[in-house]
Amino acid sequence: MGASAAALLHSTPLPTVLNPVLGREAELDHILALIDDPATRLITITGPGGVGKTRLALHLASTLIDEFERDVVYVPLAAIRDVDLVLPTLGQALEVSFDGSDSWEERLVGAIEARSPLLLVLDNFEQLLDAAPVVATLLSRCPGATMLITSQAALAIPGEQLYPLRPLPTPNLDQVTADAIMRAEAAVLFVTRARAVKPGLVVDDRMAVTIAEICRRLDGLPLAIELAAARMNILSAGALLARLSNRLQVLRGERRGVPDRLRTMRHAIAWSYDLLTPAEQEMFRRMSVFMGGFSLDAVEALFADSGDGRDPWTVLSTLVDHSLVLASGEARFLMLETLREYGLDQVEQRGETHEARLAHATWVCDFAEAAEPHIFSSEQEVWLNRLEPEWENIRTAMEWS
């Protein structure tokens, strides 16, 4: 091992991850290639809470130290809320002393350049986005440094290479055998974690089909899958699936030795929700009443005024940037079901259910009335194609009405 790596292991040990990374081989290879590219000096891994950004970043850092003898400094930021503490926190990780004779920036530039080439891993940056210019300044002044950042939202600074981390692939609906289902990374993760609490678990075709549905209902989110699998110590796969109608109640447990935000799915989503402005929180809540996604037209109709002077497109863009809403096609969006349940829970807690449901049903009614004259016209095919993605919304509005 090189001298720099040996010194690093002594001064800045990485947190130990007891559970190995599963099903992320392609992502690992891709990000390692980005880090190895001298033209890429800022990589931001984005994605919703619970998708595994921190675990992937730690695995990458460990790989670079152990296999490539790279000098890596890991900087956890989840506990930091004040942007003025970012530079001192970096200084602590780099073991930089500060006596006030010059600025933190000058001290950090000197320390980083002395250890170049250096990879800085900044974990959980989403609550510190106003400190993004600090990152830009350090990168511009330290040509030998590369940064790997995990954040639910992009930093939006020059030179940033985004790497959206998606949920794990789930089994296809047409897969009905254990052999086929267990090729999906989400199913592998579930069974691996289930066997940790229920050794000797045997997965036959019937159980595999149930596990596949569990993974689909949990959107392939690794944290949700791990929390659900831990319930296999007291539940069968069938009983677990039946209880996922109230998934936020199921996806909790006694997870010791992990940050509070990762103890339950509710905590993980609340961490993201609390970072939003009141107008963004309101749009997130109201969007949760949609089933099967929603169109940009629906957003414009329901949110003509965001409440803070911004147009609804801008607020929606922020929710997409924060990985709370996913773009799923041309001018169409959706929420992962686990996030949607949290939004509905917030709607109910705030006494907004009737108002939100009424607004949704009104939009559905207006949309259906606009479509009706065209159903038996020369434009039939066009309007049927517009109606097809909204069947779940139409059905939901009719059931509520």
Parse the chain into domains and list their residue ranges. Answer: 3-164, 178-268, 276-400
Q: In what order do the strands lie in the sheet with 71-76?
A: 71-76, 118-123, 145-150, 42-46, 160-164
Instruction: Give the pLDDT score at 254.
Output: 59
Instruction: Give the pLDDT score at 129.
Output: 96
Decide: helix, strand or coil at residue 148.
strand
Strands 145-150 and 160-164: unpaired
**CA dist 398 → 20, 292, 360, 394 (Å):** 46, 15, 10, 6
One-letter-per-residue 3-state SS of 285-348: HHHCCCCCCEEHHHHHHHCCCCCCCCCHHHHHHHHHHCCCCEEEECCEEECCHHHHHHHHHHHH
Instruction: Give the pLDDT score at 258.
Output: 62
Residues 6+ apart with CB under 8 A from 107: 91, 96, 97, 98
Decide: helix, strand or coil at residue 244.
helix
363: which 2 tokens? 């939009």
Same fold, 3-164 and 276-400: no
CA distance 12 to 9: 6
Instruction: Give the pLDDT score at 36.
Output: 92
CATH of domain 276-400: 1.10.10
Superfamily of domain 3-164: P-loop containing nucleotide triphosphate hydrolases (3.40.50.300)
Phi, psi of 333 (to 5 degrees): -140, 160
Instruction: Give the pLDDT score at 304.
Output: 75
DSSP 8-state class, residue 158:
T
Decide: helix, strand or coil at residue 11.
helix
pLDDT, tens digit only, all 401 positions of the chain: 343 443 433 345 677 776 778 889 999 999 999 999 999 999 999 999 999 999 999 999 988 988 778 899 999 999 999 999 999 999 999 998 877 778 899 999 999 999 989 999 999 999 999 999 999 999 999 999 999 999 999 999 999 999 999 999 999 999 999 999 999 999 999 999 999 999 999 999 999 999 999 999 999 999 999 999 999 999 999 999 999 988 888 887 655 556 666 678 998 999 999 999 999 999 999 999 999 999 988 988 888 766 677 888 889 999 999 999 998 877 899 999 999 999 999 999 999 999 999 999 999 999 999 999 998 899 899 999 989 999 999 999 999 99
